[in-house]
């Protein structure tokens, strides 16, 4: 970008935010680098500018300015993109950081919540509860922004009962590529509503959500079992027993569970959203040959229920500081769950493969339930048939993730896929730059419809990141 062009863009963006210099950080300005907060140091990124609009109108003006100068645009909410796509990837984008969009209200009659897209999950959780003990399903990390989480999927402990985060979205206010502002729902701008619910980063910037809410649960049981077993066969048997339980037909939707593998052990944890008596009747310990006693907590405070032992484990390993990490994901359906032979191969591989780090985790999350109640093509989010997700992470605190470590995670996926042909896909919220066909992996059979919508509403691909939906064959 030349000096003259840069000055023109700067002035245009500054005007878009009401000439408030506190709402614009522009490349080359003093202190610009300190405004860039990448979540994953593995993927350096330098946007053209970061804007901090305070109104929907300012968002629209920013988009208009960027489009006029043919600069890509990406929204940022909590900034937890695994490849820093919220900062535009490597494309020198104009970033629209929506952290100032914090408005919140709940209709006392309908219990519909109107929420600004800059709200973090922890704040949403608290605000809903204090507005009549209301709640929605979402993830357990409080620092994640709902602008991304509620438009990409949004899996969490309550998803088996209530669905994904985006399943709660009744309406959105969204800024499109032509800088127009529309209200999309099931009855108006239906195609845009479809696309926003699973692939919003490619189609627009949501400034407000309207969410249907639930009465918050009044009691729950949290369980945690730390399994310190070194025998490969015992670990494999633990997984087989757990998978056998979670694939049970008509498994209670009150039951959430995750099994985490890490160097030296395993962690089985989750929450049962019911009474102590119901949990005891469920008989969790009867399903597992666990040699250690579990830590069982009986809770009556909703604000303390949505915690994840796996999330806490990763945060502890990273020390709360930015780090380089590599991550992958795989979905499993009941018909395509991991076979016993595949489980044995997986644990043998984990025991023998070179890793070059001790900070690695493999998390298996039980999902399904209400998530599966929606058709695959009901929303852009396509993984409706999955009952379990695998997330694998490797963290480096002293520089880039080594090729040995990346090969370890890639090899782990290969071992599972080779034992279970047909397992395919990736969770769009766990961005994986190494995917050979990312769009198909993220959006599956919905990709063609998304490409058609993209060609209509964003033919110049203004809303772009390295793995976003393109116009494909449907461009003019």
CATH class of this structure's domain 220-299+308-440? alpha beta
pLDDT at position 365 is 96
Q: Which fold has domain 104-216?
A: 3.30.465
Kindly report the number of other CB atoms within 10 A of residue 316's CB atom: 10
Q: Report the relative pairing of strands 169-175 and 73-76 from DSSP bridges.
A: unpaired
pLDDT at position 3 is 40
CA distance 219 to 139: 19
CB 144 within 8 A of CB 80: yes
pTM of the model: 0.94
pLDDT at position 311 is 65
pLDDT at position 304 is 78
150, 197, 275, 375, 384 from 172: Cα distances, Å? 11, 10, 36, 21, 22
For the chain, what are the domain ranges?
3-97, 104-216, 220-299+308-440
Q: What does the angle CA 152 – CA 80 – CA 388 come to, to the nearest 5 degrees?
A: 50
pLDDT tens column, 287-320:
776 666 678 889 888 887 776 666 666 666 555 5
- Residues 6 or more apart whose CB falls under 8 angstroms from that of 114 comprise 103, 104, 105, 106, 107, 208, 209, 210
CB 97 within 8 A of CB 205: no
Positions in the chain whose pLDDT score sits under 70: 1-5, 229-230, 289-293, 307-320, 473-476
CA distance 397 to 409: 17
CA distance 389 to 56: 35
pLDDT tens column, 322-359:
789 999 999 999 999 999 999 999 999 999 999 999 89
Architecture of the domain spanning 3-97: 2-Layer Sandwich (3.30)
């Amino acid at each position: 970008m030349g000096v003259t062009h840069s000055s023109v863009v700067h002035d245009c963006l500054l005007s878009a935010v009401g000439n408030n210099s506190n709402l614009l950080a522009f490349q080359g300005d003093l202190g610009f680098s300190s405004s860039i907060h990448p979540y994953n140091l593995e993927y350096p990124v330098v946007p053209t500018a970061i804007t901090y609009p305070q109104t929907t109108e300012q968002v629209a003006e920013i988009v208009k300015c960027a489009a006029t100068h043919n600069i890509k645009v990406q929204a940022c909410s909590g900034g937890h993109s695994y490849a820093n796509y919220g900062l535009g990837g490597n494309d020198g984008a104009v970033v629209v950081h929506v952290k100032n969009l914090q408005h919140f209200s709940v209709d006392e009659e309908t219990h519909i919540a109107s929420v600004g897209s800059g709200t973090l999950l922890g704040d949403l959780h608290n605000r809903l509860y204090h507005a009549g003990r209301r709640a929605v399903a979402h993830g357990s990390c409080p620092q994640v922004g709902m602008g991304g989480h509620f438009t990409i999927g949004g899996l969490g402990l309550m998803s088996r009962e209530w669905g994904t985060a985006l399943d709660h979205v009744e309406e959105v206010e969204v800024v499109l590529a032509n800088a127009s502002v529309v209200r999309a729902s099931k009855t108006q701008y239906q195609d845009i509503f479809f696309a926003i619910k699973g692939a919003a980063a490619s189609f627009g910037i949501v400034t407000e959500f309207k969410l249907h809410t639930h009465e918050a649960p009044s009691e729950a049981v949290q369980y945690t079992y730390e399994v310190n077993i070194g025998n490969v066969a015992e670990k494999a048997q633990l997984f087989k027993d757990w998978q056998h339980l979670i694939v049970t037909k008509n498994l209670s939707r009150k039951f959430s569970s995750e099994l985490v593998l890490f160097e030296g052990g395993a962690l089985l944890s989750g929450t049962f959203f019911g009474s102590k008596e119901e949990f005891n009747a469920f008989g969790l310990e009867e399903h597992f040959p666990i040699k250690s006693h579990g830590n069982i907590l009986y809770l009556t405070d909703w604000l303390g229920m949505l915690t994840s032992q796996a999330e806490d484990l990763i945060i502890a390993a990273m020390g709360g500081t930015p780090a380089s990490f590599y991550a992958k994901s795989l979905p499993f359906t009941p018909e395509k769950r991991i076979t016993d032979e595949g489980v044995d191969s997986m644990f043998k591989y984990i025991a023998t493969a070179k890793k070059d780090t001790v900070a690695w985790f493999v998390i298996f999350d039980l999902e399904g339930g209400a998530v599966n109640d929606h058709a695959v093509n009901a929303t852009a989010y396509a993984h409706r048939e999955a009952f379990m997700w695998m997330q694998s992470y490797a963290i480096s605190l002293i520089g880039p993730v080594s090729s040995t470590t990346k090969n370890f995670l890639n090899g782990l996926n290969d071992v599972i896929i080779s034992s279970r042909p047909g397992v395919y896909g990736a969770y769009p919220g766990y961005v994986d730059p190494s995917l050979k066909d990312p769009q198909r992996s993220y959006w599956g059979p919905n990709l063609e419809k998304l490409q058609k919508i993209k060609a209509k509403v964003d033919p110049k691909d203004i809303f772009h990141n390295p793995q976003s939906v393109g116009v494909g064959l449907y461009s003019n």
